[in-house]
A = this chain, B = another copy of it.
Amino acid sequence: MSILVVGSVALDTIKTPQGTGKDILGGSATYFSISASFFNPVNLVAIVGYDFPSRYLKLLKKRGVDLTGLVIKRGKTFRWKGEYSWDFSYPKTLSTCLNVFSEFNPKIPPEYKKSQYLFLANIDPQIQRKVLNQVSPKLVALDTMDYWIENKRNHLLRLLGSVDLLLLNESEARMLTYQESIVKAAKELIKLGARMVIIKKGEHGSLLFSDKFIFSIPAFLLESIVDPTGAGDAFAGGVIGYLARCNKITQSNLKKALVYGAVMATFAVEDFSVRRLASIDAGDIRRRLKQFKRLSCF
């Protein structure tokens, strides 16, 4: 079952304790697409400027990502500059230049409309709504961030009733629900309309809540991280990629999807940009999944 992703494709300049990457391929839709592409075909809707390097287009195409929906517009590509300190928690944003992204008004190409799995990556909830109005997928997954919770809370809340799988991190879940307990926050989000909620906890793993069950996995343990950018989107790519491949939303598949998400996130953080993530193969995923099982099954 093919997957549709709507989000950002960007050029990032990132400094971490392990080094620096300048104008490297980034953006939520990029990390998601490449990660999900290991499981299923991906249809991408995004916008870039004339300065977008053709080698990055090639890279996406090589991973089988359909670029019919990628608008290339006069102007500059969305650029983000950030810096991580030693603990790799939140990055410090040094600059954000939306450029052509500020005019992003996603139109879903007709050939994308039958995509059954939709990932609304972290963008303005009003744009996410516009996308939802154009399609009727089997599963809608949605990511967001503190900025939208602060500035577009009501738009975001109104979306929740259309969301099957809401992905956010711990502090975002608390912000959106005013609940300190993560369990209470997740339950509140379900009450607000989301069918299921995934709480991403970075190096501490992730949690999945539905009204029927709760599932919890630790994170895969990496000795060193090069660049955590995109980990959450690569995680989402693994989760939704796996679900689309199974094409059956069962409790058991959801649990495995979470594990595949964790596995894909580890590849994302092992190098800058999608360098490592785009260069793996099915064998790498299989091996890491095995390691994950050894790490966490008792």
Number of interface residues of A (CB under 8 A): 33
Give bound CA distance, A221 to B221, whole Å.
21
28 sampled A-B residue pairs with Cβ under 8 A? A181-B223, A181-B224, A182-B203, A182-B221, A183-B221, A184-B224, A201-B204, A204-B204, A204-B205, A204-B218, A205-B205, A205-B216, A205-B218, A207-B221, A213-B294, A214-B221, A214-B295, A215-B296, A216-B219, A216-B221, A216-B296, A217-B298, A218-B218, A252-B298, A255-B298, A259-B298, A297-B297, A297-B298
- Residues in chain B near residue A182, CB distance under 8 A: 203, 221
A263 CB to nearest B CB, Å: 12
CB distance from A25 to the nearest CB of B (A): 26
Interface: A284 (CB within 8 A): no
Q: Which residue of B lies closest to A88 (CB)?
A: B180
> Per-position contact with B for A172-210: 1 when CB-CB < 8 Å, else 0?
000000001111100000000000000001011101000
Q: Is A222 an interface residue, CB under 8 A from the partner?
A: yes
Q: Contacts of A204 on B, CB cut-off 8 Å?
A: 201, 204-205, 218
CA–CA, A181 and B221, complex, Å: 10
Q: Which chain B positions have C-beta within 8 A of A288?
A: none
Contact with B along A243-268 (1 / 0, CB 8 A): 00000000010011011000000000
Q: How far is the CA of A216 from the CA of B295 in the complex (A)?
A: 6
Q: Are B223 and A183 in contact (CB under 8 A)?
A: yes
Q: How far is the CB of A202 from chain B (nearest CB, A)?
A: 10
Copies in the complex: 2
A215 touches B181 (CB 8 A): no
Q: What's the dominant secondary structure at chain A's contact region?
A: mixed
Alpha-carbon distance A222/B213, docked complex (angstroms): 14
Judging by beta carbons under 8 Å apart, are B221 and A295 in contact?
no
Give the distance to chain B from A258, nearest Cβ to Cβ, in Å. Answer: 8
Chain B residue at minimum C-beta to C-beta distance from A257: B298
Chain B residues closer than 8 Å to A281, beta-carbon distance: none
A209-243 CB contacts (< 8 Å) to partner B:
213-219, 221-224
**A223 neighbours in B (Cβ, 8 Å):** 181, 183-184
A86→B204 CA distance, assembly (Å): 20
Residues of the B chain whose Cβ atoms lie less than 8 Å from the Cβ of A205: 204-205, 216, 218
A14-30, CB < 8 A from B: none
Chain B positions within 8 Å of A222 at CB level: 183
- Name the B residues within 8 Å of A218 (CB-CB): 204-205, 207, 216-218
A274 vs chain B, min Cβ distance (A): 23
